[in-house]
Amino acid sequence: MNKNQFDVIVLGGGAAGLTAGIYLSRAKAKALVLDTGMPGGQMILTYEIANYPGIEKTTGYQLSATMAKQAKSFGCEVKSNVKVKSLQLEGETKSVTLENGDIFEAPAIILATGGRSRMLRVSGEEEFKGRGISYCATCDGDFFQDKEIIVVGGGNSALEEAVSLTKYASKVTVLHEFDHFQAFEHAVDEAKANPKIDFIMESHITEFVGENQLNKVKYKNLKTGEISEKEIDGVFIFIGYEANTDFFKNGPLELNQWNEIISNESMQTNLEGVFTAGDCRAKRYRQITTAVSDGTIAALNALNYIHQKETQPV
C-alpha cells in the first residue's frame, strides 16, 4: 500500500468526520480525513457548547481541536485546507483528486461534508457579506463592540447567539418572520430576559443598504405589508444550514429535494462502499451529538464493509 492508498477516506473534518477518523484509526484501519477548511466544520463557529455529554461547558474551537488531536493520536491522517478537483465514487476503488494533483484511493469512503449557513438571498446580501453581514457570532462578534445589531432567525442558534452577542453590542434586535419562536423554551426565556434584546416579529428583511459598509436594512411586516427602515451597524443571520453537496449534484449519488444525501440507518448510500454522516445527510436533527453518532455508525459499517471485501472468496 503506497502513501496515497487508504482503507477508508473521510471527506469532511467536522464532528462527524473526526469521529469517523477516531473510530477507524483506533481499529487499526489506515484512515485519511480531508477537509476544505480547518478541522471542526460548523462546530468551530459555536461560541459555547453546554449540552455535550460529559463536558459541562466548552467552546466549539476547543472541542474541535480535541477531536482532531484524538484522531491523530490513533494514527489518523488529517489534511486541512484542501481543494477537491474531482471524486470517483463508483467501482471497487473510490478516489479523491485534489487541485494540486494528489490522488487518494480507498475501497470505502465516508462523505461528511457538513453544511453551510443559509442565506436570506435578498438584495445587498452578497455585497455586504463581511462588511456588516455575518453568519458567525464567534468570528465577528467583537467587531461590533458598543454597536447596534440585528439577529435574524427564531431557532436555538439565533436566540443563543443573540444572547452571546450582548457581550459586545449595545443593543441586539431579533428579527423573525413568524409570531413565535422555534427555539427551546429555555433559549426563548433567556433571550426575553436580557435587557439588551428587543424583538421584531412577523417580519423579514427585504434589502440591505449602504455604501462601503452596511448601515441600514429595509424590512417588511408580513402581516400588514408595511415596509420599514432601520439604521444598523451589523446583521447576524442564523436561519439554518444547507448541505454542502454541490459536488454531488447530477451524479450517481442519490440526494433528496433539499440536496441532502440519502442513506439508511447504517449510513450506507445508494452506492456500494460509499457512506455518509453528519449535516450533509438527510435527517431531522442536526446537533454535534447526532453528527458524532453518524460518524461512529458510518465508521463501523465502513470497517465491516472492507472486512467483508477482504474475506470474500476470489
Is residue 136 annotated as part of the catalytic site, yes or no? yes
Is residue 280 annotated as part of the catalytic site, yes or no? no
Question: 210 - beta bridge partners?
Answer: 214
Q: 70 with 235: CB under 8 angstroms? A: no
Point out the catalytic residue in the list 7, 35, 76, 140: 140
- The 3-state secondary structure of the chain reads CCCCECCEEEECCCHHHHHHHHHHHHCCCCEEEECCCCCCHHHHHCCCECCCCCCCCECHHHHHHHHHHHHHHCCCEEECCCCEEEEECCCCCEEEEECCCCEEEECEEEECCCEEECCCCCECHHHHECCCEECCHHHHHHHHCCCEEEEECCCHHHHHHHHHHCCCCCEEEEECCCCCCCCCHHHHHHHHHCCCEEEECCEEEEEEEECCCEEEEEEEECCCCCEEEEECCEEEECCCEEECCHHHCCCCCCECCCCCECCCCCCECCCCCEEECCCCECCCCCCHHHHHHHHHHHHHHHHHHHHHHHHCCC
Q: Taking the CA of residue 213 as centre, how many other CA atoms within 13 Å lie in the half-sphere pointing to its CB?
A: 7
Is residue 198 annotated as part of the catalytic site, yes or no? no
Reading the block at residue 136, the C-alpha cell is 458567525
| Residue of 252, 253, 276, 273 lying closest to 263 (CA atoms) | 276
Q: Which residue has the cell 435587557?
A: 195
Q: Taking the CA of residue 245 as centre, how many other CA atoms within 13 Å lie in the half-sphere pointing to its CB?
A: 27
Residue numbers annotated as active site: 136, 139-140
